[in-house]
Structure 1
Amino acid sequence: MTTTLTEYHTADFVKPDGRNLTLYGLNPIRVDSDIPSPSPDPVDARPLMRWHPVRGEWVMYAAHRMGRTFLPPPEYNPLAPTRDPEHPTELPRGNYDIAVFDNRFPSLTLAAPDPGAGPAGTRAGVGACEVVVFSQDARGRLSDLTDEQVSLLLAVWADRTTRLAGTGRIQSVLPFENRGVEVGVTLHHPHGQIYAYDHVPPVAARATAQMDAYQAQHGRPWLADFVQEERASSARIIHDDGQALSVVPPFARYTYETWVLPARPASLLSELSDEERLSLARVLKDALLRLDGLFGVRMPYLMTVHQAPVDAPHPSFPLHIEIYPYLRAPGRMKYLAGTEQGAGEFANDKFPEVAAQELRAVPGGAGDGL
C-alpha cells in the first residue's frame, strides 16, 4: 500500500527471503517487475556483542559478513534494478527515487539469537542494519541528485529513524555514507547505510551529556550559540543558505572536516519543516560538491548524520551532519594514526579558518549555481 510522506510517497514490500524493502519517490511509486532478492534463502545472521571493560563500550561480531559482496563488476551490481530475472539483484524495476532494505549481511539484527555460553559480557547483537540506495543510476554521486531528491533523502532518514524507534527496541539511529575504496566501500553504486542500536553508543552518549550540561548552565541549547558565533565570525562558514549552513568547525579534528547543520536548534531530522529540510539539502549538496572540486577528484569521505538518541526526548542535542574527507596525499588529508587510535586525541595540520577559505573559493558549489 502506498502512503504519503509529507509530499513524498512510500511503498512497503517483503522480499522472497523475508527481508523488508521500502521504496520512496517524489512521485507515486510504480513497480514494473517482481520484488527480487539475490537469494531466496532467509538470512541466517547470528551477530553478538562483547563488552570492552577497559574502553567501556560494546564490540560487534558478525562472522557471516565475511561472505558479503566485494567490488563486483558493473554487470553484477546488486544495487541496480534487476534486468535479468535469472540473476536477481536487490531492487525491482520501476519508478522510484530511493530504496531502503534490510542488509543481507547485518552486523546487528532484531532477530539476533541468544549466543549461549561465552566470555563474560557476551550478549546477542540486537539492533538493525539497513541499506539506503540513493539512486537507480549506478554512475552518480549523492551530490548529483537534485535539491528535491536530497531533501527526500533527509526525509527518508527521518522516516527510518521514526520506524526503527517505533520497534521499542532501538535507542539510537545512525545514518551514514562511506564513499571510496579508501574508506572500505565494497560497492560503488551510490548508497549509504543505517545502523540502529539497542543502546546509546559512546559518541552519542557523551555528546548528549555534554549538551545537557551546556543547556543546564546557559539556559539554551549549544547549537543556537554555535550558529550565532559562527555567523558573527564568518571565518569558518562555507555556505549559508539562511535556514541551514555549512562550516569547518573551530574544533575540527580532520583537515577540511565539514559540518552541515540547521540554523534553528533541532535534535531530530523529523523536527525540521519542509523548508528547513530543503535548505539543509541544498547546503549538504553544496558541501559535497566543494569537497570534490577542491582537488578535482571524487573525494573519498565518511559522512555521519548525528541525531539525538531515541530512547527519550533530548531537546539539547544538536542535529548535524559531519563529513570527514580522505585523500592519501602527503600534507593534505588526515587519517587515523597513533595519537588518534591510541589516545583519541586528534592532530590537525590545517587551521579550520584556512580550510573554510579554500572551500569557499572552490568554483561550482551549489551556491554558485551548479
Structure 2
Amino acid sequence: MSDDLPHRRLNRLTGEWVLVSPQRMKRPWQGERKPPAKADRSSHEPDCYLCPRNERMGGMANPDYAGTHIFPNDFPALLTKEAGERHEGLLRAEPAKGEARVICYSPDHSSTLALMDEAGRRQVVETWCEQSAELGARWAHVEIFENKGAMMGASSPHPHGQIWAGDFVPTIVEREDVQQRRHLEGEGGNLLAAVIEAELEACERIVAKNEEWLVVVPYWAAWPFETLVLPRSQVARLEDLPERSREGLAQILGQLLGAYDALFETDFPYSMGWHGAPHGLDDETAHWLLHAHFYPPLLRSAEIRKHMVGFELLAETQRDLTPEAAASRLRELVR
C-alpha cells in the first residue's frame, strides 16, 4: 500500500471505516490558528475551584489535600436518584441514572500528568483502579477520562480528570463490546491481543513499550496523533491490573505524554479515556482487553488543529497524516 495515495482503513474496535488522504498534508493552510494556552501558571491560584483550601462553586471548600483528591462533581451529567421517563415508539427515550466525580491529580495547579514525577502518576493510576472497582460494584459502566486544555473544553487548567458511572453501557463502549465479542466468536481469540501481536511484528506504529505496556498509533487512527495504550497481558478492567502493570503504566504514561509535549513544544491538549469490560457483563470478559484512547486535536503545529467537520460529520471520518508517519514523529521524542 502506498503512503501517498488515498485509501480506507477499518477500525476493528468500532466496525467503522476511516478515509486516509496523505496527499492533503501538502495543501496550504489559511484557516484557524489557535494560540496555545499559556503554561506559566503558579502552583496555587486563589480563584481556582480545584486548588487545595479554595471554595468551589457549590460552596464546599476543598481540603488541604497533598496527593490525589476526589469529590462528587458539583454539576453532574448523571444523577443517582432522578432520571427522565421512558418513551417507546418512534420517538424513543429511556431513563438514565449514575454519578459523576472529579479527580484532582495533584495539589499543584501548574502541574500536568506529563510533568508529575512517576510516584505522582503512580498514585493517579491507583486512584483510577480503586474508583473503577468501587463504582463498578453498583453501575453498569464506569468511564474514567480527562479533557486536558482549553482547546478540548477543559473548564479548569488544574490537573484533573473525571469519572461518569451509569446504569447503561454507552454507545461507543457497546460497539467495542460487539466487535471484540464477534472476533472471539469468529476467530477464537482476543481482538486486541491479536492487534498487539501484529503491531509488535510490524513495528511501524509503535510509539513506546515496556514489559507491561505498548503504546501505538492505531492502524485506524482518526485523530492526527491519536494513540492506543494497551496492556501486554490479558486484563479486562483497571482493577485487574497487577502491581507491576500499575508501575509500568505510570512509567509509560510519562514517556507518551512527554513526547506529546515535545512534539510542538507546547502543553499538549487531548481527551483521553479508559475502556474496560463493562461491569454489567459480570464474568463475561474473555473478549475484552483493557485499553486507553488518547485523542489530541493538534495537526501541524501548536496553533493548527484538526477539525472534525464537513465530510467527517456528514459522511466518514477522514485523516491526512498517516498513522505510520505520526508514530515515527512521536517515537523519536520518547525519552
TM > 0.5 between the two?
yes
Structure 1 segments unaligned to the other structure (5+ residues): 1-72
SS of 1:74's equivalent? Answer: coil
Return the alpha-carbon distance in structure 1 between the equivalents of residues 237 and 55 of structure 2: 40
Residue by residue, what CA displacement relative to the aligned partner does 1:192-239 show, whole Å, maximum 9, x if unpaired?
101112111111111111101111122221122111111111111111
Return the alpha-carbon distance in structure 2 between the equivalents of residues 249 and 329 of structure 1: 19
CA contact (8 A) 2:212 2:249 kept: yes
Matched, 1:354 2:325: yes
Q: What TM-score comes out, normalization by structure 1 length?
A: 0.72
Matched, 1:204 2:173: yes
- Residue number in structure 2 paired with 1:59: none
The total of aligned residue pairs comes to 287
AA aligned to 2:318 is A
CA contact (8 A) 2:224 2:298 kept: no
Matched-pair identity in %: 29
- Residue number in structure 2 paired with 1:49: none
Return the alpha-carbon distance in structure 1 between the equivalents of residues 310 and 289 of structure 2: 29
Q: Which of 122, 141, 145 in structure 2 is aligned with 1:176?
A: 145
AA aligned to 1:278 is E
Return the alpha-carbon distance in structure 2 between the equivalents of residues 278 and 185 of structure 1: 27
Q: Which of 273, 283, 288 in structure 1 is aligned with 2:257?
A: 288
Task: Identify the range of structure 1 (129-138 vs 283-292) with the bigger mean alpha-carbon deviation.
Answer: 283-292
- Residue number in structure 2 paired with 1:23: none
Return the alpha-carbon distance in structure 2 between the equivalents of residues 231 and 175 of structure 1: 27
- Residue number in structure 2 paired with 1:98: 68
Residue by residue, what CA displacement relative to the aligned partner does 1:262-283 show, whole Å, maximum 9, x if unpaired?
1112210111111011112211
SS of 2:311's equivalent? Answer: helix
Structure 2 segments unaligned to the other structure (5+ residues): 1-43
After TM superposition, give the deviation of residue 123 of structure 1 in Å: 4.7
Q: In structure 2, do the counterparts of structure 1 residues 189 and 217 end up closer, same or farther at CA, with 3 Å as the change threshold?
A: same
CA contact (8 A) 2:105 2:159 kept: yes
After TM superposition, give the deviation of residue 151 of structure 1 in Å: 2.4
Q: Which of 109, 130, 140 in structure 1 is aligned with 2:79?
A: 109
CA RMSD of aligned residues (A): 2.6
Q: What TM-score comes out, normalization by structure 2 length?
A: 0.79
- Residue number in structure 2 paired with 1:127: 98
User: Which structure features the higher share of strand residues?
Assistant: 1
AA aligned to 2:124 is L
Task: Identify the range of structure 1 (100-109 vs 147-156) with the bigger mean alpha-carbon deviation.
Answer: 147-156
Q: Which of 227, 233, 251 in structure 1 is aligned with 2:196?
A: 227
SS of 1:194's equivalent? Answer: strand
**More relative contact order in 1 or in 2 (CA 8 Å, sep 6+)?**
2
Return the alpha-carbon distance in structure 1 between the equivalents of residues 280 and 256 of structure 2: 31
CA contact (8 A) 2:100 2:165 kept: yes
Q: In structure 2, do the counterparts of structure 1 residues 296 and 125 end up closer, same or farther at CA, with 3 Å as the change threshold?
A: same
AA aligned to 1:82 is R
AA aligned to 1:335 is H
Write the mapping of 1:66-77 to structure 2, written as runs, cut at 5 A.
74-77=45-48
